[in-house]
Amino acid sequence: MNRRLGVGMNLIKKIIGPKSKYDKGLPYTYEAKVACWDGADEYNSYFSDTICGVISYLEKKNIRPVDARVFEIYGNQETEMDVASYSYSEQDWFKHNDVCQSFCKNRYPGHVSLTDCSFSDRDRDCSE
């Protein structure tokens, strides 16, 4: 019986989505835009529910911070983030712990601590 209840709760969470997505103080999602070629007006978009998901994906694809524009998306409004807020330099992304502790703690006070993160209920996968 408990197993059925757990499966049912997981299904509900998938349909309703993460609780943090309903918190208006947190971005709904993140988008990275990368020009298709140098100087292009066309770009590829990469989406993740978390900033660490976007950064991890771009780093795996060998896309440098200087080559990407990252946006926080709140409902229908997108706000471009300063490259210094998620990278050590134009060449090096923040590592996961630095994203959580340096970026998120300062940007979303009260939502991130040493042991808890309001984004922990979200999927960290990134899609194109």
What does the pLDDT read at residue 9? 45
What does the pLDDT read at residue 128? 66
Phi, psi of 32, rounded to the nearest 5 degrees? -110, 135
What does the pLDDT read at residue 21? 58
- Is it the case that residue 5 has pLDDT exceeding 60? no
- Is it the case that residue 8 has pLDDT exceeding 50? no
Instruction: Fill in the DSSP letter of residue 104.
Output: I
pLDDT digits (tens, 9 = 90+) for 109-122: 666 655 566 666 67
Local confidence band at 65 (pLDDT 50, 70, 90 cut-offs)? very high
Local confidence band at 31 (pLDDT 50, 70, 90 cut-offs)? very high
Q: With 0-12 CB in 10 A as exposed, 13-18 as middle and 19+ as buried, what is 87?
A: buried
Span 60-67, average pLDDT: 94
What does the pLDDT read at residue 115? 57
Query: Any idea which residue has 């939502």 for tokens?
Result: 111
pLDDT digits (tens, 9 = 90+) for 36-50: 887 778 899 999 988
Alpha-carbon distance values, 82 to 22, 33, 101 (Å): 25, 13, 17
CA dihedral 44, 48, 51, 53 (to 10 degrees): -100
Three-class DSSP category at 118: coil
